[in-house]
Structure 1
């Protein structure tokens, strides 16, 4: 899917946000030679924040294809209490000031302690020599409590060597930073066992000490993914990441987690210990021995979520300290990460930020933890595909037994990666003529190369019949023929007696909802789907049937699932499909299981442009769609139009819906408009201000003439008043919903009629007759 070609190996990307030293992921630091992790409590984070404010940045260069072409991470500068390359006698994680050096004198390094590790490396791995490395550079990395070997070092920085080896970016971890010898041996053995998985951090080998007198000391070659942590990658690239790329990252995490589980390796997941390489592959590092520093070394060069934020990734049973490690914990964390990919932020980030800024951090985090155990979860982001939403909600279920197996999660994401949500039903495979690309991962010993196949995406900006027919085999059912936009096979199955109104579960539509063929057509709607829709309508497909569980009708599904296709015809196929459905008599005011009408769904779909929203709105209003119907929690259609800043739709509703301009309705719409959040661009701010000012024009005395004009329009279209506003029988143009007519007649009798009568009396008194 990412399909990257690297013309030159990029320099390492390092971005550490301000105060990142207090925002570490796994407790992987060392204290002296004991190998014990430095356990910092959440309450102590504010103390460390005041100790050091450091930012380390380097910039990625090189040419990439696909998403990453123009998204290099911004560069910055270092600012820390202590900097510079450590002198040869210092064996700690970082440089030490002259004052601290009197307090802390590291013990001389004894290579005999690591003799067993070196022997294992010599017996198992192929050595890598310095001459094989290119583009070497020193990168300053802040020293935090998690990577410091002595408290006095915290706040300084250490020079970390990075370079390239066989077109892979690597970090050199010298022996004086390895950690406890027994932990190191366990770590490198685990990494060797896990080397066949592309989504696991790679240990490429080691640099041997060639002679007893050589200044070079043994070092490990660890993979250093070029785009830093997943958290860092999302922060800088979220607006550019499309759903196929999010599916791909989610699939990588799932495959890595499943491999770790199959090998019996415990894993802790959060967006700080998942890294992203230059090809867009998610790399797992949060596993193995916590006190070791080898797998955590690449993470020390990236920005991390705060210590408090890591709580939200923990399963409820882990928060309650029930039982020992279980793979179900990883599935829960995976569900949180899937939501994070859809939203671009850490769950409950506003709550956590306020808690960290206040004096009662521990108590506030305890309350949040308790709420999560009781079932508190984040809201789904508008525009999230339904199958993806169902997947992460099942993964973060409070009951471990209710979470899906990793095999199911992987299969679902694999389907979403290979099968475009609006394209087709079938799962990928060679029999379907799809391109399978092997990705080779260098193993630790350099001899046994591992092949990890990944199906390439078939995404196209303007898919057509030739695109579909060339990539897929013959459909096996009517639903499959409809989902791949094959009109010939659709007609053949209909004429063969297949049930045109039969229900089936279409995985690309939903994991649970059963739908009919016409629902399948509208849920995967493309320009090439129009002939199929006409075919189904010509054979009297039942439009009264609803999708099971969601209770959506055809209009709900079309407006909820519609994704614009950029071509010369724009959204013409959407309007044609809408006209066909309305002409066939589809119900325009039907409510789904959540209480939403098609108009509510239209306003909530962020993929449809505001211009198209207004055009669809006009078509639905012409067929009697009622904008006064209240949606659960969201108010009427005016409130939704204002919330999503559909300015023209807001104007249209106000000019046609008398109830929408009631004071309570206007007040709620203004509130909804101001609660809309987005990037503070000039366009966004101006549009929000413009929408709010429009709503205010309909309040108070300024709104009276506008309301009167709306009343006369409604009654005139209904044939109850003439063009001058006088009561009379005339041609009916359009009947508004009954509630609108009743409100218009009441307003007319109360305000307009009395004023007209007073005006006529005044004219009569002056001898002017009609």
Structure 2
């Protein structure tokens, strides 16, 4: 510890000056007796510039008391712990004013005297959320939380932020200043006066982003220092936090980690700040729902005027919290729907979802929140399809509802209009199969595309499909694929971004590798072209390598002559090495395995493999006989894409023909000698 001890510090300040805080607390807050606390313990907390009473104490350790009060974990914080008396009083008053918001750190009450001296110094009972900071929560639980829980955390942050701004309380949003309690509610801290001395107290006991990484949460105008505090800064920071919820990591964490381990930290951070000001942002994590992606990208716009009002952000998240989990999980039932526990798959924690839905239905204390409405009988064909109700779907079709009519379905997008069959495929579950069959039997037009995105039936099915674990596995996915392909769905159609259904199949992180291979084989059999280039990502082989679908890589190379072209292999190797993820042994080993397998298809090692594929392509097309020589008859029945034939013919004429003829001639001479003997 520094030269000034806590005891010496106590003597250097006028403890009587805290009497004003005590008097105010006595008039407004609930007194708590020490006997009401249980499981009291002391936790050592490092003294940093943000919680030091005096600069000379930085580097030491102070003991912080935590306890249980009314089944809530609390921190017992003496009013003189940090800051001067006037600032402490202001923060206590602010906490009391904000007590009605569930998403703001709570001041539960106070202990009348925390000092051994004759001077009465009150101790505050502050909420101490048990899951720690959002950064800590994501580090430990990211792989186990589903999208509904992420939406709920995002909504909590938006509601808390709007409540602070509506009360003219400035704040600093980052994943260390957001805590998570034992009910999964996000709690905002670190607001008020610069540094938020009292309100930051619970953060000192949790994992925090490094000081250097805090710049990634700052709006460009704040980084430039152009203006005073503006609430638009926090909308930008909220957008960054929404991305962090989708990825589980801090933006640009690898860049920051390298900078912190190097000798030029300040210069590196200055360069990163400059890049953010110029528009640098993180890439969307594969599997992020479209509407959520649109939302955080609007929030982190470089120009403050382009960011949405906080009310719009909150309303969008409220819609996702209430509507999307219901549309994904509800099966047809009575007028008010069925119990969630009857329809949740083995892969989803039914208790967690039920708790999540209950917690959303009782948040009457949240600013601007309302009771969750009851889900009544579907009122339109689109609604019947979206909740997978085959009886109501059939009823509305018989009643004359437009089977090809367009509508905006919130769970798909706020912008795209889609038809009933596209709605059916947007959240495709096993019980959606009879609805798809009914729509196809009624001759629904599968050539109609989602407006704005230009996605077809196959695009939407493969882009948004989430496996539903049961005894039949993904059989309903393959059945839907076969039905659409047999009905004439175009497997090589491109959406507005230039992606084919095969591209989106590889980019969907929810679909397992075995199912990816099976779906790809069914589509290739119907004419899907694996050589089509995706925007920025390369062909299907490159996408399969990037997302580490090893068996898909093997399958493509064994059947696609163009995929083994040197340029294609190099593109796939580069794509494989650009894939980022959690640095687990499994991830690293699979990436290494994929990269090494790709290299086996280059140079001398790859020649025999390419020869085998060329012969297979030409034999399937009827251009080679059983001996591997060219036939003189008509091509066979198997249709092979012309680009594949041209590539295989060129490779055969260049590398195989002469060698094959020489081998067969030698075998013929030996055979003749044996017969003459």
Calculate the TM-score normalised by the size of structure 2.
0.90
5+ residue gaps, structure 1 = 1-81, 83-95, 442-448, 459-470
- Give how far 1:672 is off: 2.5
Are residue 228 (structure 1) and residue 132 (structure 2) matched? yes
2:123 to 219, 240, 245: 219
Task: Report the more deviating stretch, 322-331 or 676-685.
Answer: 676-685
Give the 3 Å change call, closer, same or farther, for CA 391–425 of structure 1 in structure 2.
farther
Q: Per-residue deviation at 1:325? A: 2.3
- 2:234 and 2:592 map into 1 onto residues whose CA distance is 44
Q: Do residues 506 (structure 1) and 409 (structure 2) align? A: yes
Equivalent residue in structure 2 for 1:484, among 378, 381, 387: 387
Q: Give the structure 2 partner of residue 468 of structure 1.
A: none
Question: What is the CA–CA distance in structure 2 between the aligned matches of 1:292 and 1:338, rounded to whole Å?
Answer: 23
Post-superposition shift, 1:529? Answer: 0.7
Pairwise CA distance, 1:411:
2.1
Using the TM superposition, give the Cα deviation of residue 697 of structure 1 relative to its aligned residue in structure 2, in angstroms: 2.6
Distance in 2 (alpha carbons) for counterparts of 1:344 and 1:210: 40
| Match among 363, 367, 375 for residue 267 of structure 2 | 363
Tell whether the 8 Å contact from 2:45 to 2:205 is kept in structure 1 after alignment: yes
Task: Give the corresponding residue for 1:296.
Answer: 200
Residues 528-577 of structure 1 show CA distances to partners (whole Å, capped at 9, x for unaligned) of: 11111111111222222222222211111111100000111110100000
Q: CA deviation at 1:105?
A: 5.4
Distance in 2 (CA, whole Å) between partners of 1:242 and 1:150 is 44
Report if aligned partners of 2:629, 2:661 keep a CA contact under 8 Å in 1: no
- Find the counterpart in structure 2 of residue 241 from structure 1: 145
Taking the TM superposition and a 5 Å limit, the aligned residue runs for 1:550-565 are: 550-565=453-468
- Cα deviation for residue 211 of structure 1 reads 11
Per the alignment, residue 710 of structure 1 pairs with 613
The answer to whether the aligner puts 1:387 opposite 2:387 as a matched pair is no
Q: Describe the superposition over 1:21-75 as per-residue Cα deviations: whole angstroms up to 9, x where unpaired.
A: xxxxxxxxxxxxxxxxxxxxxxxxxxxxxxxxxxxxxxxxxxxxxxxxxxxxxxx
Q: Report the number of matched residues.
A: 651
Q: Of 616, 619, 622, which aligns to 2:519?
A: 616
Map of 1:725-736 to 2, 5 A cutoff?
725-728=628-631, 729=633, 732-736=636-640
Deviation at 1:706, TM superposition (A): 1.9
Q: Quote how far apart the aligned CAs of 1:764 are.
A: 5.9
Query: Hey, what's the Cα distance between the residues in 2 that align with 1:676 and 1:709?
Result: 30
1:185: which partner in 2?
Answer: 89
Deviation at 1:624, TM superposition (A): 1.3
Which residue of structure 1 lines up, in the alignment, with residue 17 of structure 2?
113
**What's the counterpart of residue 307 of structure 1?**
211
For the 8 Å contact 1:417–1:457, the answer to whether it is kept is no
Measure the CA separation in 2 of the matches of 1:377 and 1:472. 38
* 1:336 paired to 2:224: no
The question of 1:346 aligning with 2:260 is answered no
Change in Cα spacing, 1:665 to 1:159, as seen in structure 2 (3 Å) is same
**What are the superposed Cα offsets for residues 228-268 of structure 1, whole Å, 9 maximum, x if unpaired?**
11111112222222212111111111111111122222222
Q: Indicate how the Cα distance of structure 1 residues 176 and 348 shifts in structure 2: closer, same or farther if over 3 A, else same.
A: same
- Secondary structure (helix, strand or coil) at the match of 1:176 reads coil
* Paired position in structure 1 for 2:445: 542
2:412/2:426 contact within 8 Å kept = yes
CA displacement at 1:656 relative to structure 2: 0.9
Higher share of residues assigned helix: 2
Note the C-alpha offset of 1:322.
Answer: 3.2
Q: 1:525 to 1:210 in 2, by over 3 A?
A: closer
Q: Secondary structure at the match of 1:135?
A: strand
Q: Is the 8 A contact 1:644 1:673 kept in 2?
A: yes
Equivalent in the alignment of 2:75:
171
1:374 counterpart = 2:278: yes
Structure-2 separation of matches of 1:677 and 1:722? 46
Q: Is the 8 A contact 2:78 2:114 kept in 1?
A: no
Contact 2:615–2:624 (CA<8 Å) still a contact in 1? yes
CA distance in structure 1 between the partners assigned to 2:667 and 2:362 by the alignment:
93
Cα distance in 2, alignment partners of residues 281 and 158 from structure 1: 29
CA distance in 1, matches of 2:65, 2:315: 39
CA distance in 2, matches of 1:394, 1:245: 21
Query: Would you say the 8 A contact 2:79–2:88 is kept in 1?
Result: no
Asked whether the equivalents of residues 422 and 523 of structure 1 are also in contact (C-alpha less than 8 Å), the reply is no
Q: Secondary structure at the match of 1:139?
A: strand
Q: Structure 1 residues 658, 732: closer, same or farther in 2, change over 3 A?
A: same
Alignment check: 8 A CA contact 2:37 2:69 kept: yes
Q: 1:497 aligns with which of 389, 393, 400?
A: 400
SS in 2 for 1:205: strand
Cα distance in 2 for residues equivalent to 1:455 and 1:573: 37
Tell me which residue corresponds to 1:466. none
Q: Is the 8 A contact 1:273 1:284 kept in 2?
A: yes
Q: Does 1:267 align with 2:163?
A: no
Partners of 1:595 and 1:354 in 2: CA distance: 35
Report the equivalent of 1:89. Answer: none
Q: Give the root-mean-square deviation of aligned CA atoms.
A: 2.9
Tell me: higher relative CO, structure 1 or 2? Use CA pairs within 8 A at least 6 residues apart: 1
- Picking from 484, 487, 494, the partner of 1:584 is 487
Map of 1:27-106 to 2, 5 A cutoff? 82=1, 100=4
Q: Distance in 1 between matches of 2:648 and 2:372?
A: 55
Instruction: Say whether the 8 Å CA contact 2:164–2:170 is kept in structure 1.
Output: yes
State the shift of 1:292 in Å.
4.9
User: Residue 647 and residue 292 in structure 1: after superposition, are their counterparts in 2 closer, same or farther (change >3 A)?
Assistant: closer
Residues in 2 aligned to 1:687 and 1:228: alpha-carbon distance in whole angstroms: 33
Residue equivalent to 2:538: 635
**1 CA distance for matches of 2:329 and 2:372?**
14
Does residue 1:152 correspond to 2:59, yes or no? no
**3-state secondary structure, aligned to 1:161:** strand
Match of 2:421 in 1: 518
Pair 457,360 (structure 1): closer, same or farther in 2 beyond 3 Å: farther
CA distance in 2, matches of 1:131, 1:637: 67
TM, length-normalised to structure 1: 0.79
Deviations 1:437-462 (CA, angstroms, capped at 9, x unpaired): 58989xxxxxxx9588989999xxxx
State the Cα distance separating 1:210 from its structure 2 match.
Answer: 9.7
Distance 2:500 2:227 in 1: 46
Q: Deviations over 1:704-756 (max 9, x none)?
A: 22222211221222222233323333673431211001111222233333233
Question: Do the aligned partners of 1:343 and 1:381 also contact (CA within 8 Å) in 2?
Answer: yes
Q: Which residue of 1 aligns with 2:498?
A: 595
User: Do residues 768 (structure 1) and 650 (structure 2) align?
Assistant: no
Runs of at least 5 residues in structure 2 that lack an aligned partner in the other structure: 340-356
